[in-house]
Chain A
Amino acid sequence: GAGVSQSPSNKVTEKGKDVELRCDPISGHTALYWYRQRLGQGLEFLIYFQGNSAPDKSGLPSDRFSAERTGESVSTLTIQRTQQEDSAVYLCASSLELAGVEQYFGPGTRLTVT
Protein backbone atom coordinates (compact mmCIF):
# COMPACT_ATOMS: atom_id res chain seq x y z
CA GLY A 1 0.00 0.00 0.00
CA ALA A 2 0.99 3.62 -0.39
CA GLY A 3 3.07 5.24 2.29
CA VAL A 4 2.92 8.79 3.58
CA SER A 5 3.28 11.30 0.78
CA GLN A 6 4.19 14.96 0.97
CA SER A 7 4.16 17.80 -1.52
CA PRO A 8 5.97 19.71 -2.75
CA SER A 9 9.25 17.89 -2.32
CA ASN A 10 11.14 21.16 -2.58
CA LYS A 11 9.98 24.74 -2.10
CA VAL A 12 12.02 27.91 -2.46
CA THR A 13 10.29 31.07 -1.33
CA GLU A 14 11.15 34.66 -0.63
CA LYS A 15 11.21 35.96 2.90
CA GLY A 16 7.81 37.31 3.88
CA LYS A 17 5.77 35.06 1.60
CA ASP A 18 3.33 32.42 2.84
CA VAL A 19 3.82 28.73 2.08
CA GLU A 20 1.57 25.72 2.36
CA LEU A 21 2.88 22.19 2.75
CA ARG A 22 0.73 19.13 2.22
CA CYS A 23 0.73 15.67 3.80
CA ASP A 24 -1.28 12.59 2.79
CA PRO A 25 -1.08 10.00 5.58
CA ILE A 26 -1.38 6.27 5.23
CA SER A 27 -5.02 5.33 4.78
CA GLY A 28 -6.57 4.29 8.09
CA HIS A 29 -3.98 6.03 10.25
CA THR A 30 -5.81 8.27 12.67
CA ALA A 31 -2.79 10.04 14.14
CA LEU A 32 -0.76 12.54 12.13
CA TYR A 33 2.35 14.44 13.16
CA TRP A 34 4.41 17.26 11.73
CA TYR A 35 8.11 17.58 12.49
CA ARG A 36 10.84 19.94 11.38
CA GLN A 37 14.50 19.15 10.84
CA ARG A 38 16.87 22.05 10.59
CA LEU A 39 20.33 21.52 9.15
CA GLY A 40 22.48 19.53 11.57
CA GLN A 41 19.67 19.12 14.07
CA GLY A 42 17.38 16.31 15.13
CA LEU A 43 13.70 16.18 14.34
CA GLU A 44 11.65 18.77 16.21
CA PHE A 45 8.00 17.98 16.97
CA LEU A 46 5.57 20.66 15.78
CA ILE A 47 1.94 19.51 15.96
CA TYR A 48 -0.16 16.39 16.36
CA PHE A 49 -3.66 15.44 15.16
CA GLN A 50 -5.63 12.50 16.56
CA GLY A 51 -8.94 11.69 14.87
CA ASN A 52 -11.39 14.57 15.15
CA SER A 53 -9.91 15.92 18.38
CA ALA A 54 -8.50 19.41 18.55
CA PRO A 55 -4.83 19.33 17.60
CA ASP A 56 -2.05 19.72 20.09
CA LYS A 57 -0.27 22.85 18.91
CA SER A 58 2.21 23.08 21.76
CA GLY A 59 5.23 22.47 19.53
CA LEU A 60 4.53 25.19 16.98
CA PRO A 61 7.44 27.65 17.13
CA SER A 62 5.39 30.80 16.54
CA ASP A 63 1.93 32.07 15.64
CA ARG A 64 3.05 32.25 12.02
CA PHE A 65 2.67 28.46 11.92
CA SER A 66 -0.72 26.79 11.63
CA ALA A 67 -1.96 23.40 10.53
CA GLU A 68 -5.23 21.84 9.55
CA ARG A 69 -6.43 18.36 8.91
CA THR A 70 -9.51 17.29 6.98
CA GLY A 71 -11.10 14.49 8.95
CA GLU A 72 -8.60 11.66 9.13
CA SER A 73 -6.90 12.40 5.83
CA VAL A 74 -4.94 15.23 4.29
CA SER A 75 -3.16 17.78 6.44
CA THR A 76 -1.68 21.13 5.47
CA LEU A 77 0.98 23.05 7.36
CA THR A 78 0.95 26.78 6.64
CA ILE A 79 3.75 29.16 7.41
CA GLN A 80 2.90 32.82 7.09
CA ARG A 81 5.41 35.62 6.48
CA THR A 82 8.27 33.14 6.17
CA GLN A 83 11.63 33.93 7.72
CA GLN A 84 15.04 32.55 6.84
CA GLU A 85 15.04 30.64 10.13
CA ASP A 86 12.07 28.64 8.81
CA SER A 87 14.35 26.94 6.27
CA ALA A 88 14.29 23.24 7.10
CA VAL A 89 12.95 19.88 6.00
CA TYR A 90 9.37 19.50 7.15
CA LEU A 91 8.40 15.89 7.78
CA CYS A 92 4.97 14.41 8.22
CA ALA A 93 4.30 11.08 9.93
CA SER A 94 1.23 9.00 10.63
CA SER A 95 0.42 6.13 12.94
CA LEU A 96 -2.45 3.93 14.03
CA GLU A 97 -4.16 5.60 16.98
CA LEU A 98 -2.37 6.66 20.13
CA ALA A 99 -0.95 3.20 20.70
CA GLY A 100 0.88 3.34 17.39
CA VAL A 101 4.11 4.86 18.57
CA GLU A 102 5.78 3.45 15.46
CA GLN A 103 5.29 6.41 13.19
CA TYR A 104 5.66 6.15 9.44
CA PHE A 105 7.30 9.14 7.81
CA GLY A 106 6.88 10.81 4.48
CA PRO A 107 9.88 11.93 2.40
CA GLY A 108 9.62 15.50 3.63
CA THR A 109 9.41 18.93 2.06
CA ARG A 110 12.65 20.87 1.86
CA LEU A 111 11.80 24.53 2.42
CA THR A 112 14.35 27.22 1.58
CA VAL A 113 13.57 30.82 2.47
CA THR A 114 15.77 33.31 0.61
Chain B
Amino acid sequence: DQQVKQNSPSLSVQEGRISILNCDYTNSMFDYFLWYKKYPAEGPTFLISISSIKDKNEDGRFTVFLNKSAKHLSLHIVPSQPGDSAVYFCAATVSGGGADGLTFGKGTHLIIQP
Protein backbone atom coordinates (compact mmCIF):
# COMPACT_ATOMS: atom_id res chain seq x y z
CA ASP B 1 0.00 0.00 0.00
CA GLN B 2 1.62 3.21 -1.18
CA GLN B 3 1.42 5.89 1.46
CA VAL B 4 2.86 8.62 -0.77
CA LYS B 5 1.63 8.81 -4.32
CA GLN B 6 2.84 10.81 -7.29
CA ASN B 7 0.35 9.96 -9.99
CA SER B 8 2.14 11.65 -12.88
CA PRO B 9 5.21 9.70 -13.97
CA SER B 10 6.24 12.56 -16.24
CA LEU B 11 5.45 16.19 -16.94
CA SER B 12 6.53 18.37 -19.84
CA VAL B 13 6.58 22.16 -19.40
CA GLN B 14 7.79 24.96 -21.61
CA GLU B 15 10.72 27.02 -20.37
CA GLY B 16 9.54 30.13 -18.53
CA ARG B 17 6.16 28.65 -17.61
CA ILE B 18 5.05 27.30 -14.23
CA SER B 19 5.68 23.64 -13.37
CA ILE B 20 3.27 22.08 -10.89
CA LEU B 21 4.10 18.72 -9.40
CA ASN B 22 1.52 16.97 -7.28
CA CYS B 23 1.71 14.52 -4.42
CA ASP B 24 -0.94 12.77 -2.31
CA TYR B 25 -0.52 10.89 0.94
CA THR B 26 -2.69 8.54 2.94
CA ASN B 27 -1.04 8.38 6.36
CA SER B 28 -2.55 11.06 8.58
CA MET B 29 0.40 10.74 10.98
CA PHE B 30 2.74 12.38 8.49
CA ASP B 31 3.52 15.91 9.61
CA TYR B 32 6.61 16.85 7.64
CA PHE B 33 6.93 16.80 3.89
CA LEU B 34 9.91 17.23 1.61
CA TRP B 35 10.69 17.47 -2.06
CA TYR B 36 13.87 16.01 -3.49
CA LYS B 37 15.31 16.47 -6.95
CA LYS B 38 17.32 13.76 -8.64
CA TYR B 39 19.53 13.90 -11.70
CA PRO B 40 20.58 10.66 -13.45
CA ALA B 41 23.41 8.78 -11.73
CA GLU B 42 23.25 11.08 -8.69
CA GLY B 43 21.59 10.77 -5.31
CA PRO B 44 18.50 12.86 -4.54
CA THR B 45 19.17 16.39 -3.31
CA PHE B 46 16.94 18.16 -0.85
CA LEU B 47 14.91 20.96 -2.41
CA ILE B 48 12.29 22.30 -0.02
CA SER B 49 10.20 21.14 2.90
CA ILE B 50 7.05 22.06 4.77
CA SER B 51 5.72 21.33 8.22
CA SER B 52 2.07 20.49 8.73
CA ILE B 53 1.62 23.64 10.79
CA LYS B 54 2.04 25.64 7.59
CA ASP B 55 0.21 25.60 4.30
CA LYS B 56 2.87 27.28 2.21
CA ASN B 57 6.64 27.54 2.11
CA GLU B 58 8.55 29.53 -0.45
CA ASP B 59 12.21 29.49 -1.44
CA GLY B 60 13.11 31.48 -4.52
CA ARG B 61 11.46 29.94 -7.57
CA PHE B 62 10.15 27.00 -5.53
CA THR B 63 6.95 27.02 -3.49
CA VAL B 64 5.37 24.07 -1.74
CA PHE B 65 1.68 24.13 -0.84
CA LEU B 66 0.11 21.77 1.68
CA ASN B 67 -3.60 20.98 1.92
CA LYS B 68 -3.93 18.83 5.03
CA SER B 69 -7.64 18.18 4.69
CA ALA B 70 -7.11 16.80 1.20
CA LYS B 71 -3.80 15.12 2.15
CA HIS B 72 -2.29 16.78 -0.86
CA LEU B 73 0.80 18.81 -1.53
CA SER B 74 2.21 20.42 -4.60
CA LEU B 75 5.50 21.90 -5.71
CA HIS B 76 5.40 24.97 -7.93
CA ILE B 77 8.43 26.04 -9.93
CA VAL B 78 8.21 29.41 -11.59
CA PRO B 79 9.68 30.31 -13.97
CA SER B 80 10.80 26.86 -15.11
CA GLN B 81 14.35 26.62 -16.38
CA PRO B 82 16.15 23.92 -18.42
CA GLY B 83 18.24 22.95 -15.38
CA ASP B 84 15.02 22.02 -13.58
CA SER B 85 14.69 18.94 -15.79
CA ALA B 86 15.04 16.06 -13.34
CA VAL B 87 13.02 13.52 -11.39
CA TYR B 88 11.23 15.05 -8.40
CA PHE B 89 10.40 12.90 -5.39
CA CYS B 90 7.84 13.80 -2.78
CA ALA B 91 8.62 12.42 0.67
CA ALA B 92 6.85 12.39 4.01
CA THR B 93 7.67 11.50 7.57
CA VAL B 94 6.57 11.83 11.15
CA SER B 95 8.91 14.53 12.47
CA GLY B 96 11.38 13.08 14.92
CA GLY B 97 10.47 9.65 13.63
CA GLY B 98 13.83 8.94 12.07
CA ALA B 99 13.33 5.25 12.73
CA ASP B 100 10.89 5.12 9.88
CA GLY B 101 13.07 7.06 7.48
CA LEU B 102 11.29 8.96 4.78
CA THR B 103 8.46 7.51 2.76
CA PHE B 104 8.90 8.44 -0.88
CA GLY B 105 6.64 8.59 -3.88
CA LYS B 106 7.71 7.03 -7.16
CA GLY B 107 8.77 10.36 -8.59
CA THR B 108 7.73 12.61 -11.45
CA HIS B 109 10.10 13.17 -14.35
CA LEU B 110 9.94 16.89 -15.19
CA ILE B 111 11.06 17.84 -18.67
CA ILE B 112 11.54 21.53 -19.44
CA GLN B 113 11.28 22.21 -23.12
CA PRO B 114 13.11 25.19 -24.67
B43, A105: Cβ atoms closer than 8 Å: yes
B36 → chain A closest CB, angstroms: 8
In this complex, the interface size class of chain B, counting residues with CB under 8 Å from chain A, is 20 to 34
User: Which of chain A's residues have a CB closer than 8 A to the CB of B102?
Assistant: 33, 43, 45, 101, 103
Interface string of B88-113 (1 = CB under 8 A from A): 01010101111111111111000000
Closest B residue to A10 by CB, please name it: B41
- A residues within 8 A CB of B106? 40-42
Interface size on A, residues (CB 8 A): 29
Given A41-B106, A102-B34, A102-B49, CB of A91 within 8 Å of CB of B99: no
Q: Indicate whether B45 reaches chain A with its CB closer than 8 angstroms.
A: yes
Determine the chain B residues whose CB is within 8 A of the CB of A99 once the complex forms: 95-96
Q: Is B59 an interface residue (CB 8 A)?
A: no
Q: Are A56 and B43 in contact (CB under 8 A)?
A: no
For chains A and B in complex, what number of residue pairs have CB atoms within 8 angstroms?
71
Contact with B along A77-113 (1 / 0, CB 8 A): 0000000000000010101001101111111100000
Contacts of A103 in B (CB 8 A): 46, 102
Q: A42-B105, A42-B107, A43-B104 are in contact. Are A31 and B98 (CB under 8 A)?
A: yes
Give the residues in chain A near B89, CB-CB below 8 Å: 42-43
A107 touches B96 (CB 8 A): no
CB within 8 A of B43: which of A4, A40, A101? A4
The reply to whether the CB of B4 lies closer than 8 angstroms to some CB of chain A is: yes
Is A75 on the interface with B (CB-CB < 8 A)? Answer: no
Q: Complex Cα distance A106/B49, Å?
A: 19
A102 touches B46 (CB 8 A): yes
Chain A CB within 8 A of B42 CB: yes
- Is A50's CB within 8 Å of the partner chain B? yes
Is A105 touching B45 in the complex (CB atoms < 8 A)?
yes
Q: Contacts A42-B105, A48-B101; is A105 near B44 (CB within 8 Å)?
A: yes
Q: List 8 A-B contacts (CB under 8 A).
A: A33-B102, A42-B89, A45-B102, A50-B99, A93-B43, A102-B34, A105-B44, A105-B45
Q: List residues of chain A with CB under 8 Å of any chain B CB.
A: 4, 31, 33, 35, 40-46, 48, 50, 56, 58-59, 91, 93, 95, 98-99, 101-108
